[in-house]
Structure 1
Amino acid sequence: MTTLTSTRPPVPAATPSRTLAMIERNFMIYRRSLTPLLSAMVEPVLYLVSIGIGVGMLIGDVAGVHVRYPAWVAPAILATTAMNTAFNQTSFGVFSRIRAERTYEAILPTPVSVTDIACAEVASAVINAVLTSIGFVVVMAVAGLVTSPAVLLAIPASILVGFAFAAGGLAVTTFLRDFADFQYIQLVMLPMYLFATTFYPLSTYPAPLRPVIEVLPLYQSIQLIREPALGAAGWSQLLSVAYLAAFGVAAMWIAVRRMTRIMLS
């Protein structure tokens, strides 16, 4: 009697020591050049200066909030900084190591597992997201855009935002076939950046569209950082925490299984 067995490779468990070794490997490479970290700061600062401060001179205070427009926009740009830093590292960076550089093919014969690799890539991306977030908070302080000491909560918040988008980037990367497919990612990321209340309040949207905006992960990220930064932290932030944690865990689950199938099958 023939027994049917699954050909799907098993998903290995993560080992903390091996994951830490992979993180150390990543940062040994990063320390050779600060260019990627510094470049991640350039774009958000340009948006802050051009739109936050430039357009803010024409707008004045944000209606219903009584906060200067640059101070209102800055926390949202901070959230997008954490998002972009984490997402870019686990999307383009990991795709290059899978398809072009074949880095993981040289690593997998060692005791390091696919899960170790996935966890290390996400953790490395989160660390970089936190570093760029700290840098942007410093920029906000120098520019006089800090309105509440609670802006310091943006640092731990950036850990969660970084985790959600790093895991999301890793999951998306496993579905890409070649570098040309990255243009489809931009078709999602750029509109989300523009419309997730980064530059104008949710109240500007027609009522039927507001629930659509509220389910965007970047909207939840902005809410998690903007409210404390403006001194308006409340229980509503717990919803954003739960949303981003669930989003990150689900994306991580997909990423590990897809990477295992791609690299071990």
Structure 2
Amino acid sequence: MSVPASASPATDPYRSAWMSLARLAPYRLLGAPAARFVVERNLLLWRGQWVVLVSGVFEPLLYLLVLGVGVGGLVGELTDAAGNPVAYDAFVAPGLLGAAAMNAAVFETYNVYFKISDKLYAAMGATPARPRDIATGEVLWAVLRTGIYAVGFLAVMLALGLVRSPLAVAVLPLAMLVGFAFATTTLAATTFMRTVNDFDLLQIVVVPLFLFSATFYPLEVLPGWAQVVTTLSPLYHGVEALRQVSLGVLDWTLALHLVVLVAVGLAGLAVGARRFEALLRD
């Protein structure tokens, strides 16, 4: 798996820092130790394009300014799980972070389809990296990009005074967990797609999740049947977990939200890696 000559230690003094960042992921825990090289490759390719990397934070920021500040003035205050008053912008900000994590993971991972079509993985397959290593590496790169978005969005939340608890630092790993859940499920879905037109199906799924996962309103305002449907969404569990730590109001449901996200992520990785391996062999 070659890298550009410009990435050599002699010409890139920051390469060791990039590689140290790439080594932080739990590759062996996921059964894919060689996935690190896929993450390193993507880091080297993107290291000079930070403007593009962080651009994903601007869309949720615009939503936050329009809805949180604009619409928030009309909505007024809501209440958190403990019954304390919460400004609408502080309520909606964690939800927008969860949506940004979902979008970053989905739209980064579906590029796997084009890499398969362009035979990029055929070259990677000539290295000691197994198909599972390659698939896991792509997922972890998407998770890392999600983390970059989360850092930028948390900085905006701090600047706007929307962080109410020191526990808010936990939004970073939580956002990456949301990214993991959606990156693996997108990987699995991508392996079933046969033409570019199939990606329209992603929008059919992503847009309703964005709008109907309690991102913009409390779950309790929905009818009973709609509440049940909403709780089936992985994004709902991500939004609620992020909201709890951002507002500093924790309860037992946080453990449930985490279990759901981990389970969805591991199930998506199991299916996606198996399907990915079959495609590469074909």
- Establish whether residue 72 from structure 1 lines up as the match of residue 88 from structure 2: no
> Is contact 2:101–2:179 with CA below 8 Å preserved after alignment?
yes
The one of 128, 144, 152 equivalent to 2:169 is 152
In the TM superposition, what are the counterparts of 1:180-259 in structure 2 within 5 Å?
A: 180-259=197-276
Residue identity opposite 1:205 in structure 2? L
Contiguous gaps of at least 5 residues in structure 2: 1-29
Residue identity opposite 1:151 in structure 2? A
Give the Cα separation in 2 of the matches to 1:103 and 1:14: 22
Give the Cα separation in 1 of the matches to 2:154 and 2:48: 25
Post-superposition offset of 1:62: 1.4
Cα distance, 1:31–1:43 mapped onto 2, change above 3 Å? same
- Establish whether residue 95 from structure 1 lines up as the match of residue 113 from structure 2: yes
Give the Cα separation in 2 of the matches to 1:107 and 1:73: 42
Post-superposition offset of 1:32: 2.8
Give the Cα separation in 1 of the matches to 2:163 and 2:203: 31
The one of 61, 64, 78 equivalent to 1:62 is 78
1:37 maps to what in 2?
53
Post-superposition offset of 1:15: 4.4
> Is contact 2:54–2:148 with CA below 8 Å preserved after alignment?
no
1:161 maps to what in 2?
178
Post-superposition offset of 1:159: 2.4
Question: What secondary structure is seen at the aligned counterpart in 1 of 2:186?
Answer: helix
1:207-265 per-residue CA deviation (whole Å, 9 max, x = no partner) reads: 12211101100000001110111111122110011101110111111101111111102
Give the Cα separation in 1 of the matches to 2:270 and 2:165: 37
- Establish whether residue 86 from structure 1 lines up as the match of residue 102 from structure 2: no
Post-superposition offset of 1:38: 2.1
Between the two structures, name the one with larger relative contact order (CA 8 Å, sep ≥ 6). Answer: 1
Give the Cα separation in 1 of the matches to 2:210 and 2:263: 21
> Is contact 1:148–1:231 with CA below 8 Å preserved after alignment?
yes
> Is contact 1:14–1:113 with CA below 8 Å preserved after alignment?
no
**TM-score normalised by L of structure 2:** 0.85
In the TM superposition, what are the counterparts of 1:83-162 in structure 2 within 5 Å?
A: 83-91=102-110, 93-99=111-117, 101-162=118-179
4+ residue segments displaced more than 2 Å = none
Give the Cα separation in 2 of the matches to 1:242 and 1:65: 27
Residue identity opposite 1:138 in structure 2? A
Residue identity opposite 1:94 in structure 2? V
2:17 maps to what in 1?
none
Post-superposition offset of 1:36: 3.0
- Establish whether residue 26 from structure 1 lines up as the match of residue 42 from structure 2: yes
> Is contact 1:125–1:162 with CA below 8 Å preserved after alignment?
yes
Residue identity opposite 2:78 in structure 1? V
Residue identity opposite 1:28 in structure 2? L
Question: What secondary structure is seen at the aligned counterpart in 2 of 1:67?
Answer: strand
Question: What secondary structure is seen at the aligned counterpart in 1 of 2:215?
Answer: coil
Larger CA deviation: 214-223 vs 201-210: 201-210
1:170-199 per-residue CA deviation (whole Å, 9 max, x = no partner) reads: 111111112111111101110110010111
Number of aligned positions between the proteins: 250
Post-superposition offset of 1:30: 1.1
